[in-house]
Amino acid sequence: MSWTRGPLAVLAVCALLFAGPAGCGSDDAHGGAEREPSASVGKLLDHTDEEGRRYREVDRRSAPEVGVEVQPDADGDWDVRLTVRRFRFSPAGTEARATPGRGLAHLLVDGRLVARLRTPAYRLPAHLLPHGTHQVTARLCADDGTVWATAGEPVQSTADITASPQEPPESPPAPTPTAPTGRPASPDRGGRA
């Protein structure tokens, strides 16, 4: 019967080794139940944006980044494309709290909020950019409504664009008169076809 004790003893030792670290106490016992995430959610500043949203200062090395590109489309609207680094868009319905590198982008035209974006692409209606030069700004915000910031400035990118007046479509060329045979008619001596 000694042959059964050896494998059982080995199994018992393996079980203790596997369960040992898990059974050494809970996170509460070591003060780790509410540990800070590895990245900081930053420090709230007294600075606010035009809408009164407070800035949330984060270290430049871990701060999110955004770029914005605006191009006209065939329908007269504008395609907005954002590129982000160290940032993920939160889905609708996300809890209203700051999470490092997460949130949404506020799209501003000439300093006025026109959209809250949860994706990097947006179609900006033409009526929001009448004839003239405009600034289109993408500003990154946390889910709690604060503005991500570095060195006291919001994390944002601005594109200067110029909207030209809409040109009326070209009228088609006048049809050439044809003879009953389908060939172009020859003008008579009076210049009439």
Over residues 92-98, the mean pLDDT reads 97
Over residues 20-43, the mean pLDDT reads 50
Over residues 94-105, the mean pLDDT reads 97
> Which among 156, 166, 164 has a CA at the least distance from the CA of 136?
156
Decide: 140 and 171 in contact? Cβ < 8 Å: no
pLDDT at 87: 98
For 129-169, how does the pLDDT look when each residue is reduced to its tens digit (9 = 90+)? 999 999 999 999 999 999 999 999 999 999 999 998 766 55
pLDDT at 178: 56
Largest CA distance in the chain: 128
- Residue 176: band (very low, low, confident or very high) from pLDDT cuts 50, 70, 90: low
pTM surpassing 0.75?
A: no
